[in-house]
Amino acid sequence: MSTDYAEKERDFIASLPEDTGRDLSAWMLAISESGHRERNAIIDWLRHQGFQFSQASWLERIHHNGGRLIYGDDGSGAGARPISETPVRREVAAPQALPPAVDIHASGPQAARAGVQRLIGEAKGLRPLADLVLHEIARAVPGVQFAAVGPLIFMLAPQPFAALLPAPRKLRLYGTFGPAGVRRAYPAEAVNKSAAPFPEMLWLDDARDIDEEFQRLIRAAARL
């Protein structure tokens, strides 16, 4: 946990009543009553309430975390109480069947690398970030292999444990992160109207997201 981020979070939460007329608990209730459930829809709704994107995203993440602060509170009780003691049931699409590894690599290593590079190109302006994601995954999981399957880059060690969907505005990294993903992971969205390959996903659009916590999430997905 970054002490700096924890302090920024506490400052942001403490300023809400004066800046917006509502404290954190009131905003959590307002989000729940807004009728929006999808991440981007909540953020857009909050931006229409006058928040900057970064603030709206922060509030959405706290809401997704059950009303609890992302970086914890300072023991003063400033953190919001949970919205409900009963976890909200989230519908997650069933994982799609993955092709056997032999099919993934049937066209040979050189063609496999070319396929991965072609998909990385789909990230356009976020291509450097996509390269960084793959580099850090290789660092977290020694011996990992990358394979292009449809629009996704799968990570195998030797079985598939994660998949990257490159796109110009945001990257989606699918996996099963378990308890390690409570602060960052979201229920997986469909891939081009097809079921997601794994039940959870990370939204990535900033190199600062590729930190020590990201490494822990990757190791959790790979069961290391």
pLDDT in tens, 178-214: 888 888 888 998 898 888 999 999 999 888 889 999 9
H or E element, residue 18: helix 3-20
Domain residue extents for the chain: 3-64, 101-221
What phi, psi does 154 have (nearest 5°)? -90, 150
Q: 170: which 2 tokens? A: 């945001």
**Sorting pLDDT into bands at 50, 70 and 90, what band is 155?**
very high
**Sorting pLDDT into bands at 50, 70 and 90, what band is 109?**
low
Q: Is 50 helix (H, G, I), strand (E, B) or coil?
A: coil
**Sorting pLDDT into bands at 50, 70 and 90, what band is 222?**
very high
Residue type for position 156:
L
Which pLDDT score is estimated for 177?
92
Separation of CA 44 from chain center: 17
**Sorting pLDDT into bands at 50, 70 and 90, what band is 96?**
very low
Q: How many residues does the chain have?
A: 224
pTM, entire model: 0.55
